[in-house]
Amino acid sequence: MSLATSSPPSAAPGRPIVRLEHVSKTFSNGTIALKDMSLSIGAGEFISLLGPSGCGKSTALRMLAGLGEPSSGKIVWPDAAEKAAADKGEGEIGFVFQEPTLMPWATVFKNVWLPLRLKGISQAAARPRVMEALEMVGLDKFADSYPRELSGGMKMRVSIARALVTRPRILLMDEPFAALDEITRQKLNDDLLRLWEQFGWTIVFVTHSVFESVYLSSRIVVMAARPGRVIDEIAVDAPHPRGIGFRTSQAYGDYCRRASESLLSAIGAADHL
């Protein structure tokens, strides 16, 4: 079975796959990480959460992944078939952390196999899915390598493959390329866009970078801090496939200017609280 789970992206988002409805999060020390955040995420969208440190981007992402509960409000998954798909090891949420978090003593294959192994799927049964995921990120020839033998960009590709092997309907990515050099980061941006354009997954991507958010996204959600909240949404209507032509276009510059102005407003809003 292919890892593709939906049709390629179109100009308009599909039906809502998940909604945050008036979600707030207050930690035990009294810090208000999120306040009254509402966001509808459509099937096949590529959404970037853009904002300064402390605006609740990662908190929102982790609650979408089920790694935390809202203090108030709710997260709604409208599709009742989601649980049935998850029970078969499909239709899940894939999560890519800022660091690759690979097991140094395990091969690339065994690192990617891990989420399937935790579901009781044997190595032999998992092999086609693991190799397919590695092929998608261009690492199928490195299945028997160890993390110490890989570059930083390759380690992040392994982390992405590990998320893809579960056949997710939604892929959550928490600043996955932030620690990489600019050339590697741009290459992985292009690779991620190619996969999204091909398979049409729903992606929610956390970033501090205006340039990255404009290049990748179909929609940018700009957030302010203290407390974390949504202050702007920007639809990026540029056509696909994107590449160097888009990066050097007037439209790209205009979107970056708009997002930069919104981000500066977010920082100013926090400073005046």
pTM above 0.75, yes or no: yes
pLDDT in tens, 245-256: 999 999 999 999
Runs of H (alpha helix) within 165-239: 182-199, 210-216
Quick: pLDDT tens for 83-118.
Answer: 455 445 455 789 999 999 999 999 999 999 999 999
Distances 221 to 32, 79, 120, 171, 256 between C-alpha atoms, Å: 19, 23, 38, 16, 13
List the domains of the chain with CATH numbers.
Answer: 16-91+169-271 (3.40.50.300), 104-166 (no CATH)
The whole-chain average pLDDT of the chain stands at 89
What tens digit of pLDDT does each residue of 151-205 get? 999 999 999 999 999 988 899 999 999 989 999 999 999 999 999 998 889 999 9
Q: Which of 240, 256, 262 is nearest to 8 (CA)?
A: 240
